[in-house]
Amino acid sequence: MKSLLKFITCGSVDDGKSTLIGHMLYEAKLLFADQERALELDSRLGSRGGKIDYSLLLDGLMAEREQGITIDVAYRYFTTDNRSFIVADTPGHEEYTRNMAVGASFADLAVILVDATKGIITQTKRHTRICALMGIKHLVLAVNKMDLVDFDSDKFDEIKEEFSRITTEFRFESIQVIPVSATEGDNITKKSPNTPWYKGLALLPYLESVDVHASDEVKPFMMPIQRVCRPDHTFRGFQGQIEAGSIAVGDELITLPSHEKAKVKRILVTDQDRNSAHAGQPVTIQLDREVDVSRGCVFTKDNQLQEADSFSATILWMDDSVLTPGKDVLVKVGTKILPGTVTAINYKIDVNTGNTVTADHVVKNELAKCEISLSDGIVFDKFEKNKSIGGFILIDRVTNMTSACGVIDEALQSSYSVDRMDTEITRDVRAQQKGQQPLTIWLTGSVVGNTAIAKEVEKKLVARGYHTMLIDNNSGESVRQLAAYATLLNDAGLIVLVPAGSTNDNDQAIAQEIIGQAFLPIEAAINSSSIEEAAKDIVKRVVKALIPDSYTI
């Protein structure tokens, strides 16, 4: 069976997205005879003076043909000798960013087009950021219209280097840059003699060979329930698509959120019995006993998923109305839909620089970090682990239109904290017992560098008789989690060192809000100094905070 690649084309208006895909289908002879003939006839009235206008294959709406732009997402399925493809040709105009995001939500790979005569522009950066937000890990930058710059390799290299700079903040697994001419066919299906300086593959051969499917089967089993099937009193099955891992008859499952356990009695793929099934397959699972399961519940094996009724998230706002705190919405995560409220807007994200900007509202096509509360708890996972229950959409409760899409960053409820029992043994009592003031030293800067510095600082503090604890941040805890751990240790009367890494002002504000007066942020920059010297300087500042009148070190 051929592998399937789902990809999108995106970029600014008139960068040649529809023309690129149309030319690929035409040149690779992937059209039916009547489609090819219709294209040739339609092109006689097109904008190319009778030459074939390949964009007409995908731009089917009358408004698209009149304006010469893509408005709606056009999906095409085709197959070659090596692979099957589903491509979504997405609009480039800023007005239709919502449509581009919809296309990106289904894709494994994005082909971002850039006009060689214009280079990287704002819309290129916006689409790159949206691709990253929607979980796309593989990019192709197609530098189009190379024929208009005489196939200048220097111009190509300049665009390639600039794109490399703007993608450094994202976690893309692969980025391929290809010089193309969508109208003339250079490097579309085969290497062009006009670019002897380009040593890579042409676009179609590259798409046929790129490996985008990191094995989901090695991940823990997870399946959101889409439907409970009960055709008669003898059969009750749970239907859905396996999003990760594999399952076999006899395996024990955990149902969330009820946490009931049961064993797999039967697995059906379509109407055929199977002993096992794996990620990507739609299945019906029958269990060996009755459990409380309905649409929106989740099957898993090891219960590593999280549950929360509020979370922080990064969203792309796509509604014409302005988003302000207090907005009531419907929130769809996986197969679950719940009423919810956007309770806070933490900041907006500048599409050009990635910098955060303080904001009290969000307008159409802006990216923002928000906090959302739900009427009930949901089951979710980190987005990078599982897109199906790590991403969500916001639905307007009046118009029923999709207002935003986003990814869950972290739970806001105290699922990772411990409820402390009220006793006569308070933080002050514990601190007095240890003879010190509880403090959290929040080290920012290089993650690697400040961890080494934190270890050295702890040694020096312990040598002075202080009681300390160093929190290891190598497992990628969130700011709220680190702050919650630190607060608990402060309550024990300890001085806590947190090598938090490079955090922005908003993250520090969140940490300070949780930790309170015990919060002491220090930048652990080594620069030209050694770790030893940097640690000595930090210890001076810590002792000054602990004993304000202390001058000797």
Catalytic residues: 502
Q: Rounded distance, CA 441 to CA 231, Å?
A: 61
DSSP 170-215: S--SEEEEEE-BTTTTBTTSS--TT-TT--S--HHHHHHH------
Indicate the pairing of strand 306-317 with strand 227-232.
Answer: unpaired
Q: Rounded distance, CA 256 to CA 489, Å?
A: 31
Q: Rounded distance, CA 408 to CA 158, Å?
A: 36
- Cβ atoms of 348 and 366 within 8 Å: the answer is yes
Q: Rounded distance, CA 76 to CA 61, Å?
A: 15
Peptide bond between residue 91 and the one before it cis (omega within 30 degrees of 0):
no
C-alpha distances in Å from residue 279, one per residue of 216, 245, 259, 276:
6, 6, 22, 11
- Cβ atoms of 166 and 199 within 8 Å: the answer is no
Q: Which two tokens stand for residue 8?
A: 């999108």
Q: Rounded distance, CA 232 to CA 9, Å?
A: 46
The amino acid present at 287, given as its one-letter code, is: L
DSSP 8-state assignment for residue 108? S
The amino acid present at 163, given as its one-letter code, is: F
Residue of 432, 375, 362 lying closest to 403 (CA atoms): 362
* 17: phi then psi, degrees, rounded to nearest 5: -65, -50
DSSP 8-state assignment for residue 435? T
Q: Rounded distance, CA 112 to CA 109, Å?
A: 10
Q: Name the strand (E) or helix (H) holding 482.
A: helix 479-491
- Cβ atoms of 28 and 204 within 8 Å: the answer is yes
Q: Rounded distance, CA 548 to CA 552, Å?
A: 11
In degrees, to the nearest 5, what angle opens at C-alpha 35 toward C-alphas 29 and 36?
Answer: 55
In degrees, to the nearest 5, what angle opens at C-alpha 411 toward C-alphas 132 and 281?
Answer: 60
DSSP 8-state assignment for residue 436? S
Indicate the pairing of strand 4-11 with strand 84-89.
Answer: parallel
Indicate the pairing of strand 439-444 with strand 495-499.
Answer: parallel
Q: Rounded distance, CA 265 to CA 422, Å?
A: 47
